[in-house]
Amino acid sequence: MSRRSTAEDLARSLPTTPYVAGHWQPDSPQHTFDVVDPVTERPLVTVTEADAATVDKAVTSARDALDDGEWARLDGAARGSLLLAFAQLIEDHAEDFADLESLDVGKPGIEVRVIDLPQTVGTFRYYAGWADKLTGQSIPTPGYQGRRTLSYTVRQPVGVVAAITPWNSPTMIGSWKIAPALAAGCAVVLKPPEDAPLTSLLLAQLAGEAGFPPGAFNVVSGRGATTGKTLVEHPGVDKISFTGSPETGRIVAAAAARTFRPTTLELGGKSPQIVFADADLDAAAAGVALGIFANQGEVCAAGSRILVARAIHDEFVDRLAAHAAKVVLGDPFDDGTTMGALVNAKQRDRVLDYIRIGRHEGARLVTGGGRPERRGYFVEPTLFAGASPGMTIAREEIFGPVGTIIAFDDDDQAVSIANDSSYALAATLWTTDLSRAHTVAARVRAGAVAVNGWSPLDARLPWGGSKLSGLGRELGWAGIEANTELKTITVVL
Ligand code: NAD
């Protein structure tokens, strides 16, 4: 039996109904959606969509878990143990997760095994460590009407957290939301992406096995306009953590603003990769290619604006094109595949549209630009050179394997082009000059800057952006802050 058919069998064996209060809910044949395999273009499984009543049940069960459920009675150490058990189960099922994510998203298994899964497991383990360390402070105060006072803060869970995830890396991005929320003692209602819900269903199964009490972790699959909308508008939700497009982010933020609910938004970018003339060109070409072609370019931090010093421009373009030529497009289950399919026909057409616009606006197509003659939502790795910063392909997030190369003359111009964007999520700098590295890192507007490589995705490192890239930070201590509230208590002694 091939790996692909084993994976398909696994997908068909998963429970597909909402997971609420520790139970799989009954099937509801009138509310379903198909999950389509982006490589075969055939439906994989039919999943039950959580309707308004089910979303309400999930939010209520999360509230109950917090108010007087078993979950609320667990101390930090017990929550940490559960998170460790969860991490271990995910690690034990790493191959299942990798296969499901390749089927669902179309990405090569190697990427899931090397990046997404270790990062997911690491994130649960990292936050397990925080769960029993959420302390407050004692703050000296001058007293009250001649009496001494004791003032202190305690850090409490923010409450019911709605976590809404995108299809590009649903397992890993899900862990960034679920792990800190559970560590902080919140209860979670996860709404996975309708294009790629399978690994979230497996997560629900394993959460039950790990022993999380009913209501602590719930999964409601469904479309954004129905299940997602119902969830973010539900008055019982205390905090929303969302990753996806700026357009949807705006809708989510507006729903949250009505009652001033805290919101974390991670909305993608148009990240610059700046290659200076003094860079190690071998390393830079390999790193820049990874930055734009990994995960088919469907990465919020994809380095889609490639700014290259004019002195090395032509040579660097050739080197980058050589890397693009080495990309092997194919079935994620085939050995040797380094780039899979885009997630759906809509995304493929969107990317091809941008390629048409790039040509129309006068950028020079260096390589790619088409789709291979085969079934599946594939797009060739594509590079445009001779682009100007005002072109659409230099300004809008394409979310596909399309890099736009822009030449610059000096550091000031490089910084100015890098910052001339509606987004500010990530940047990479390629230089051997230490002073230039730190100076430019300070000047580039981005939530994360990496020099001479890609910053390791690591649960200890805060992640997020500003402008259209979003609001707030995930991961690191910031992930705990985003899921807790400080309470100040003063006792007049
Ligand atoms: P999207 O923003 O529509 O969807 C992201 C998530 O939000 C999904 O789970 C979706 O079901 C949910 N959602 C949609 N409408 C909602 C609503 N009204 N209320 C609550 N939840 C809702 O993104 P998409 O359609 O999957 O992709 C569109 C574009 O978004 C892509 O082309 C890409 O540019 C961008 N994107 C960015 C990221 C990222 O990591 N920043 C990830 C995926 C997509």
Q: Is the CB of 239 under 6 A from ligand 1?
A: no
Q: 94-105 and 198-210 helices cross at what angle (nearest 10)? A: 160
Q: Is the alpha carbon torsion for 389, 391, 397, 399 positive or negative?
A: negative
CA 467/CA 29 separation, integer angstroms: 42
Q: Is the alpha carbon torsion for 253, 19, 332, 224 positive or negative?
A: negative
For 487, list phi and psi in degrees, rounded to 5: -115, 135
Q: Is the CB of 224 under 6 A from ligand 1?
A: yes
Between the alpha carbon of residue 75 and those of residues 17, 70, 83, 131, 135, the distances in Å are 31, 10, 13, 8, 12
* Nearest CA, atom 8, ligand 1: 193
Q: What percent of the chain has pLDDT over 90?
A: 97
Atom number in ligand 1 closest to CA 193? 9
- Which of 116, 167, 248 to mutate to test ligand 1, by most ligand atoms within 8 A of the CB atom? 248
The one-letter amino acid at 159: G
Atom number in ligand 1 closest to CA 165? 9
Atom number in ligand 1 closest to CA 268? 41
Atom number in ligand 1 closest to CA 223? 11
- pLDDT at site 456: 75
Q: What is the pLDDT of residues 257-279, one digit of tens each?
A: 999 999 999 999 999 999 999 99
- pLDDT at site 73: 97
- pLDDT at site 30: 82
Out of 3.40.309.10, 3.30.2310.20, 3.50.30.30, 3.40.50.880, select the CATH number for domain 272-458. Answer: 3.40.309.10
- pLDDT at site 29: 81
Q: Is the alpha carbon torsion for 71, 77, 80, 84 positive or negative?
A: negative
- pLDDT at site 144: 97
Q: Identify whether the C-beta of residue 464 lies closer than 8 Å to the C-beta of residue 264.
A: yes
Predicted confidence band of residue 89 (pLDDT cuts 50, 70, 90)? very high
Q: What is the pLDDT of residues 329-360, one digit of tens each?
A: 999 999 899 999 999 999 999 999 999 999 99
CA 402/CA 237 separation, integer angstroms: 38
Q: Is the CB of 229 under 6 A from ligand 1?
A: yes
The residues of the chain that CATH labels 3.40.605.10 are 3-267+469-492
Looking at the predicted structure, is the pLDDT value of residue 98 above 90? Answer: yes
Residue (of 36, 58, 30) closest to 377 by Cα position:
36
Q: What percent of the chain has pLDDT over 70?
A: 100
Q: Determine the average pLDDT of the residues in 149-178.
A: 98
Residues with a catalytic annotation lie at 266
Between the alpha carbon of residue 182 and those of residues 58, 90, 395, 424, the distances in Å are 16, 16, 37, 29
Predicted confidence band of residue 457 (pLDDT cuts 50, 70, 90)? confident
CA 10/CA 109 separation, integer angstroms: 15
- Count CA atoms within 13 Å of residue 21 on its CB side: 13
List the CATH code of the domain at 3-267+469-492. 3.40.605.10
Q: Identify whether the C-beta of residue 18 lies closer than 8 Å to the C-beta of residue 56.
A: no
Computed over every residue of the chain, the mean pLDDT equals 97
The per-residue b/e assignment along 126-162, b for 16 or more CB within 10 angstroms, e otherwise, is bbbebbeebeeeeeeeeeeeeeeeebeeebebbbbbb
Q: Is the CB of 254 under 6 A from ligand 1?
A: no
- pLDDT at site 300: 95
Predicted confidence band of residue 405 (pLDDT cuts 50, 70, 90)? very high
Q: Determine the average pLDDT of the residues in 157-174.
A: 98
Report CA(231)–ligand 1 centroid distance (Å): 15
Q: What is the pLDDT of residues 183-226, one digit of tens each?
A: 999 999 999 999 999 999 999 999 999 999 999 999 999 999 99
Burial class of residue 486 in the structure, from the number of CB atoms within 10 Å of its CB (0-12 exposed, 13-18 middle, 19+ buried): exposed
Q: What is the pTM of this model?
A: 0.97
Report CA(17)–ligand 1 centroid distance (Å): 21
Q: Is the CB of 106 under 6 A from ligand 1?
A: no
CA 6/CA 333 separation, integer angstroms: 11
- Which of 35, 116, 164 to mutate to test ligand 1, by most ligand atoms within 8 A of the CB atom? 164
The residues of the chain that CATH labels 3.40.309.10 are 272-458
Higher pLDDT, 1 or 429: 429
Predicted confidence band of residue 28 (pLDDT cuts 50, 70, 90)? confident
Q: Is the CB of 325 under 6 A from ligand 1?
A: no
Looking at the predicted structure, is the pLDDT value of residue 446 above 90? Answer: yes
Q: Is the CB of 265 under 6 A from ligand 1?
A: no
Instruction: List the single range of 27-31, 72-76, 462-466 with lowest mean pLDDT.
Output: 27-31
Report CA(115)–ligand 1 centroid distance (Å): 21
Two structure tokens written together for 430: 């390629």
Looking at the predicted structure, is the pLDDT value of residue 455 above 80? Answer: no
Q: Identify whether the C-beta of residue 39 lies closer than 8 Å to the C-beta of residue 332.
A: yes
Q: What is the pLDDT of residues 243-254, one digit of tens each?
A: 999 999 999 999
